A = this chain, B = another copy of it.
Amino acid sequence: MLPRGRPRAMGAAALLLLLLLFGFLLFDGRLRRAAALDGDPGAGPGDHNRSDCGPPPPRPSKCELLHVAIVCAGHNSSRDVITLVKSMLFYRKNPLHLHLVTDAVARNILEMLFHTWMVPAVHVSFYNAEELKSQVSWIPNKHYSGLYGLMKLVLPSALPAELAHVIVLDTDVTFASDISELWALFAHFSDTQAIGLVENQSDWYLGNLWKNHRPWPALGRGFNTGVILLRLDRLRQAGWEQMWRLTARRELLTLPATSLADQDIFNAVIKEHPGLVQPLPCVWNVQLSDHTLAERCYSAASDLKVIHWNSPKKLQVKNKHVEFFRNFYLTFLEYDGNLLRRELFGCPSQPPPGAEQLQQALAQLDEEDPCFEFRQQQLTVHRVHVTFLPHEPPPPRPHDVTLVAQLSMDRLQMLEALCRHWPGPMSLALYLTDAEAQQFLRFIEASPVLAARQDVAYHVVYREGPLYPVNQLRNVALAQALTPYVFLSDIDFLPAYSLYDYLRASIEQLGLGSQRKAALVVPAFETLHYRFSFPHSKVELLALLDVGALYTFRYHEWPRGHAPTDYARWREAQAPYRVQWAADYEPYVVVPRDCPRYDPRFVGFGWNKVAHIVELDAQEYELLVLPEAFTIHLPHAPSLDISRFRSSPTYRDCLQALKDEFHQDLSRHHGAAALKYLPALQQPQSPAQG
């Protein structure tokens, strides 16, 4: 409800706004429901509300392409953009073209994300923010959005010249309605209007927030630039480039800096050229800053359209309805993005790259095939969000090693211990739902040990399908490792405290990579006790082995997996020694980053590492066991996949089928040399092997 009898002081601004509104109504030319102005003749936020769709602006035609521009930089903003895009896609009914102005970090993340998301009728273009920096870096700015906020000013020149209309969005907005309704408001622009904006929902630009508060000039309460309709064509014609620079330079003669980045400059320009602006209904930018006046808008409206978290506190902002808005935001934060891969009926559009081949391959699968689930899982393209959290790549060092592993929620508690054992870089793939990704985020934030580590890169691979895509996960983590060498580990292993240093020294000494094509074997052990005192040296480890507190890995269930490591020799070894491949060998190894990838056909449980070692051997990697290296497996409950494997003969049959196909491919690539592996591939799989 609009409060009755508000201070007369607001009269002047209100009058001005009313005049603007009046123009807007005249232009609209339609009968508007009297109710639209029923609230309070004093104007203010809320009065532009026309969310009830009677009489509606003409919607864009069903298949019209809508253009959206977003400036995005860094890891955290990239996460925000994805939530924004999810909300937009949930309600959209039109094809979209996203124009993303990004730094290198955001581009790396978002390019991979959209590539793997494969949403029909969404086209994405990237623009290099670095190239635009010089155009705005001369402006002193105090706003938390930094230089990137200011880049919205240069969009008319940065975006393609043929692009005439674009909706510009801040990364911290959430859609609660179909973006085509917003696009439809372009139709309300007069012949000269070029910028559609919602009024600012705070008293900031009135300049009365505190003593000596001197905001930039603005029309009345000013406008918020979190949501902008831009007629790029008209701005280019009107000489926008000169216009905003002139205004900014002039204001900066008396003002020290912008406080609200681009928004200050947009408002100053509009104050000077009020004919440029088309005010938009308040519901298209409901602003949730600390002292927001937005309630006037949303209490009267029956429908919110866009929520804007325009406080640096974001979801922690205090306001009495924040719980409502937070719930709305969480809806999309936790929403399964896979569900947005739905087509637009009746709008023919070019399918995303690879989508057609994928559809064809999926269509060729036989649903009656007992291994149908395996086939389907192998073909599944998982959404991938690389470097989900802030990450500092390690400085380039010639013998550096990244620990590579993959996990899901049930192994998160391993991360702290792993960080204590491995002080070097890590590249970890996490198999999560969108909601779990948020739990993971909170888990990291709550852990001082994990929050302090900037050299651990977490790559989220979104869950889809019933089988754990273990090798696809390993490949994602492997592809993102940035050091010349990688230690291919599993998440339930803790390496010796000294391993990181020892590996780097060994790589250097052995001339791994440059002189020698070798895989360094890190011998694996296991404890069956889930509380356990980790040995600080090989001597301590051997002592524990002798008293039966440790075993060689899978000693009881599957000794073949590590037998070729030759633990007896390792006990005595003083120098690296070469071992020969044998059937079922699956050691943990250190290899150059450009090593063969894991075979993604092995999904679920079984043969995933074994096949990789076969491939290394087939490519003639030497297997060198390191005498001081060790890693220890900690006990855990069996995974659901293993439980399933144990109870299902079909599962085992399908695995055998995969192995057969793997060998066919091996023969294709390596010819007669692949014959060596045939007996190994034909023997029955032990249910205990993993």
Q: Which residue of B lies closest to A181 (CB)?
A: B53
Instruction: Determine whether the beta carbon of A330 is less than 8 Å from that of B324.
Output: no
- Please provide the chain A residues from 327 to 344 with a CB less than 8 Å away from any CB of chain B in the complex: 327-328, 330-331, 334-336, 338-343
* Interface flag for A433 (CB, 8 Å): yes
- Please provide the chain A residues from 612 to 647 with a CB less than 8 Å away from any CB of chain B in the complex: 634-640, 643-644, 647
* Interface flag for A557 (CB, 8 Å): yes
Instruction: Determine whether the beta carbon of A635 is less than 8 Å from that of B54.
Output: no
Known A-B contacts A300-B346, A324-B342; the reply to A336 vs B334 at CB < 8 A is yes
* Interface flag for A1 (CB, 8 Å): yes
Q: Which residues of B contact A324 (CB under 8 A)?
A: 342-343, 345
Q: Which residues of B contact A328 (CB under 8 A)?
A: 339, 342
* Interface flag for A559 (CB, 8 Å): no
Binds B, one of A18-26, A480-488, A524-532, A562-570: A524-532
A521: shortest Cβ distance to chain B, in Å?
Answer: 25
* Interface flag for A323 (CB, 8 Å): yes
Instruction: Determine whether the beta carbon of A443 is less than 8 Å from that of B640.
Output: yes
Q: Report A405-428 CB contacts with B as 1/0, cut-off 8 Å.
A: 000011111101000000000000
Q: Which residue of B lies closest to A343 (CB)?
A: B324
Known A-B contacts A336-B334, A466-B442; the reply to A321 vs B345 at CB < 8 A is yes
Name the contact of A435 in the complex, choosing from B299, B336, B556 (C-beta under 8 A). Answer: B336
Q: Which residue of B lies closest to A329 (CB)?
A: B339
* Interface flag for A312 (CB, 8 Å): no
* Interface flag for A253 (CB, 8 Å): no
Cα distance, A412 to B642, chains bound together (Å): 13
Q: Which residues of B contact A62 (CB under 8 A)?
A: 302
* Interface flag for A146 (CB, 8 Å): no
A184: shortest Cβ distance to chain B, in Å?
Answer: 11
A299: shortest Cβ distance to chain B, in Å?
Answer: 5
A393: shortest Cβ distance to chain B, in Å?
Answer: 28
Q: Which residues of B contact A414 (CB under 8 A)?
A: 637
Instruction: Determine whether the beta carbon of B346 is less than 8 Å from that of A1.
Output: yes
Instruction: Determine whether the beta carbon of A341 is less than 8 Å from that of B327.
Output: yes
Q: Which residues of B contact A11 (CB under 8 A)?
A: none
Which of A302, A343, A530 has the most B CB atoms < 10 Å from its CB?
Answer: A302
Interface size on A, residues (CB 8 A): 64
Q: Which residue of B lies closest to A94 (CB)?
A: B302
Known A-B contacts A56-B54, A302-B62, A303-B93; the reply to A635 vs B530 at CB < 8 A is yes
Known A-B contacts A300-B346, A345-B299; the reply to A331 vs B321 at CB < 8 A is no
Instruction: Determine whether the beta carbon of B55 is less than 8 Å from that of A54.
Output: yes
A-B pairs with lowest CB-CB distance, top 4: A53-B53, A327-B339, A636-B637, A324-B342
Q: Report A296-324 CB contacts with B as 1/0, cut-off 8 Å.
A: 00111011000000000000000001011
Q: Which residues of B contact A644 (CB under 8 A)?
A: 446
Known A-B contacts A54-B53, A345-B299; the reply to A410 vs B528 at CB < 8 A is no
A408: shortest Cβ distance to chain B, in Å?
Answer: 10
A527: shortest Cβ distance to chain B, in Å?
Answer: 9
Name the contact of A298 in the complex, choosing from B302, B345, B531 (C-beta under 8 A). Answer: B345
Cα distance, A411 to B54, chains bound together (Å): 53
Q: Which residues of B contact A1 (CB under 8 A)?
A: 346
* Interface flag for A59 (CB, 8 Å): yes
Known A-B contacts A56-B56, A302-B93; the reply to A530 vs B636 at CB < 8 A is yes
Known A-B contacts A56-B56, A339-B331, A466-B442; the reply to A530 vs B531 at CB < 8 A is no
Q: How many copies of this chain?
A: 2
Q: Which residue of B lies closest to A59 (CB)?
A: B52
Instruction: Determine whether the beta carbon of A638 is less than 8 Å from that of B530.
Output: yes
* Interface flag for A664 (CB, 8 Å): no
Q: Which residue of B lies closest to A637 (CB)?
A: B636
Q: Report A525-550 CB contacts with B as 1/0, cut-off 8 Å.
A: 00011110000000000000000000
Q: Which residues of B contact A531 (CB under 8 A)?
A: 556-557, 688
* Interface flag for A454 (CB, 8 Å): no
- Please provide the chain A residues from 497 to 544 with a CB less than 8 Å away from any CB of chain B in the complex: 528-531
* Interface flag for A447 (CB, 8 Å): yes
Instruction: Determine whether the beta carbon of B327 is less than 8 Å from that of A331.
Output: no
Instruction: Determine whether the beta carbon of B336 is less than 8 Å from that of A330.
Output: yes
Q: Which residue of B lies closest to A443 (CB)?
A: B640
Cα distance, A636 to B634, chains bound together (Å): 10
A60: shortest Cβ distance to chain B, in Å?
Answer: 10
Cα distance, A341 to B55, chains bound together (Å): 31
Known A-B contacts A299-B346, A321-B345; the reply to A410 vs B53 at CB < 8 A is no
Q: Which residue of B lies closest to A415 (CB)?
A: B643
- Can you report 7 A-B residue pairs in the complex whose CB atoms are below 8 A from each other? A53-B53, A55-B55, A59-B302, A324-B343, A411-B637, A531-B557, A635-B635
Cα distance, A533 to B571, chains bound together (Å): 31
Q: Which residues of B contact A335 (CB under 8 A)?
A: 331
Cα distance, A446 to B373, chains bound together (Å): 13
Q: Which residues of B contact A634 (CB under 8 A)?
A: 637
Q: Which residue of B lies closest to A55 (CB)?
A: B54
Name the contact of A413 in the complex, choosing from B442, B443, B643 (C-beta under 8 A). Answer: B643
Known A-B contacts A413-B637, A413-B640, A637-B413; the reply to A647 vs B556 at CB < 8 A is no
Q: Which residues of B contact A346 (CB under 8 A)?
A: 1, 299-300
Q: Which residues of B contact A300 (CB under 8 A)?
A: 346
Q: Report A598-618 CB contacts with B as 1/0, cut-off 8 Å.
A: 000000000000000000000
Q: Which residues of B contact A299 (CB under 8 A)?
A: 345-346
Q: Which residue of B lies closest to A321 (CB)?
A: B345
Q: Which residues of B contact A331 (CB under 8 A)?
A: 335-336, 339
Q: Which residue of B lies closest to A411 (CB)?
A: B637
Q: Which residues of B contact A339 (CB under 8 A)?
A: 327-328, 330-331
A689: shortest Cβ distance to chain B, in Å?
Answer: 13
Cα distance, A643 to B331, chains bound together (Å): 29
Which of A55, A335, A435 has the most B CB atoms < 10 Å from its CB?
Answer: A435
A492: shortest Cβ distance to chain B, in Å?
Answer: 8
Cα distance, A323 to B355, chains bound together (Å): 15
Cα distance, A324 to B345, chains bound together (Å): 9
A47: shortest Cβ distance to chain B, in Å?
Answer: 16
Known A-B contacts A93-B303, A323-B342, A637-B636; the reply to A647 vs B447 at CB < 8 A is yes
Q: Which residues of B contact A688 (CB under 8 A)?
A: 531
Cα distance, A652 to B410, chains bound together (Å): 24
